Amino acid sequence: MNPSVYLTFDVECSMGGAWQNPALQPIPPHRGMLGRYGDKAYGVPLICDLLDRYGLQATFFVEPFNDELGHPGETEPVCRYLVGRGQDVQLHVHPNHVHYGLHREGKPHPRTDQMADLPRQRQAEILADGAERLERWTGTRPIAFRAGNMGASEETLRALEEAGLWLDSSYTFPYVGGQCRFEETERYNGCKWYGEVLEVALSGFRLPNLPGLHAAQPLDLMGASAPECREVTRMICDAGGDAVAILHSFSLFKWRDVQYNGGRPNRVVIRRFEQYCAWLAQNRDAYPARTFAELGRLVKEEGYQPKAVEPCTLNRPLRALTRRAVQMVNNWYWF
């Protein structure tokens, strides 16, 4: 069995500056998740259209705690839409959403968006609640999780076991020592078991040590060009590991301010995503695109064996610096 490629999307809503300014409200799902502006939808619907164009399925890690943000009943339709489009829905949690709900009720609450900052029992409670919501909305209980900000740890994996989830995709080596709280000393791409939980690492890659470039970054089409993403995917899979790429529900559009007003297409990222999808479609035998639901079946029924592989390095500094310059220009709303 050839190593797989997992296209993943974190489907979530920004706090929209609401913690800093009480006059502001968190972004509702019809903006942060669907990207709806008038009769246009630049979020999940556009993503699904492009996936359909190339005959691909992806895993959508959906944040379920949007009632707590003051938007009751808006997340279930997003989940049902994804299921209706034949996509895979799994669990994503930003604890800040839960904490904002407590804040609105005038109850004590921590001020952290990192799952790993919470006691394990509290993590398990939030995970179980989120999984039950997704099961109610989709008819299928999730088996996989990704922490908001990749802010999980080995303790989070033990909480996942308690909540009945057994696949995780929160670890990414470029963020370890920062927002990713794993104590793991081996830097890796691919997969490995932690007790009863299989960690499916969000892929990353190293870059030359040059001014203006990070030492390493995730396989994120918002932050890496399509040629870089193709090359990293090929290197990881050829080494025997599974590759995991990430985008967000809001990655394909821009907005004018913190409240997501004035949405318009992010044509640079859309083009990257289309090019990556076209490459996956052309190379589906060598680098098959799968979902986390499929991975669960492979583990349970077909004797899947995970493999962790050494992080790869892209030693193309001119290309990386050019991409960085394009991104700096693209950050301008009107570009």
SS3 315: coil
Q: Could you tell me the end-to-end alpha-carbon distance of the chain, in angstroms, rounded to an integer?
A: 43
In the three-class reduction of DSSP (H, G, I as helix; E, B as strand; rest coil), residue 165 is classed as coil
**CA–CA dist 99, 86 (Å, integer):** 32
With H, G, I as helix, E, B as strand and everything else as coil, classify residue 334: coil
Residue 181 CB-half CA count within 13 A? 16
| pLDDT the model gives residue 208 | 82
| Residue 316 CA: distances (Å) to CA of 80, 175, 178, 188, 216 | 42, 22, 26, 21, 13
* Per-residue model confidence as pLDDT tens for the chain (335 residues): 889 999 999 999 999 999 999 999 999 999 999 999 999 999 999 999 999 999 999 999 999 999 999 999 999 999 999 999 999 999 999 999 999 999 999 999 999 999 999 999 999 999 999 999 999 999 999 999 999 999 999 999 999 999 999 999 999 999 999 999 999 999 999 999 999 999 999 999 999 876 766 789 999 999 999 999 999 999 999 999 999 999 999 999 999 999 999 999 999 999 999 999 999 999 999 999 999 999 999 999 988 999 999 999 998 888 888 888 988 899 888 88
Residue 215 DSSP class:
S
- Relative to beta strand 144-147, strand 167-168 is parallel
Q: What is the pLDDT of residue 209?
A: 79
d(CA 184, CA 335): 41
Give the number of other Cβ atoms within 10 Å of residue 221's Cβ: 25
**27: which DSSP letter?**
P
- The sign of the torsion formed by the CA atoms of 157, 159, 161, 163 equals negative
Please work out, in degrees rounded to the nearest 5, the angle formed at the alpha carbon of residue 223 by the alpha carbons of 322 and 165: 160
8-state DSSP, 307: -
Tell me how far apart the alpha carbons of residues 116 and 157 are, in angstroms, rounded to a whole number. 10
The shares of helix, strand and coil residues in the chain, as percent rounded to the nearest 5, are 40, 20, 45
pLDDT, position 318: 82
Output the pLDDT for position 8: 98
The per-residue pLDDT for 319 is 85
- pLDDT attached to residue 212: 65
- Which CATH superfamily does the domain covering 5-330 fall into? Glycoside hydrolase/deacetylase (3.20.20.370)
| Beta-sheet pairing, 253-254 with 264-265 | antiparallel
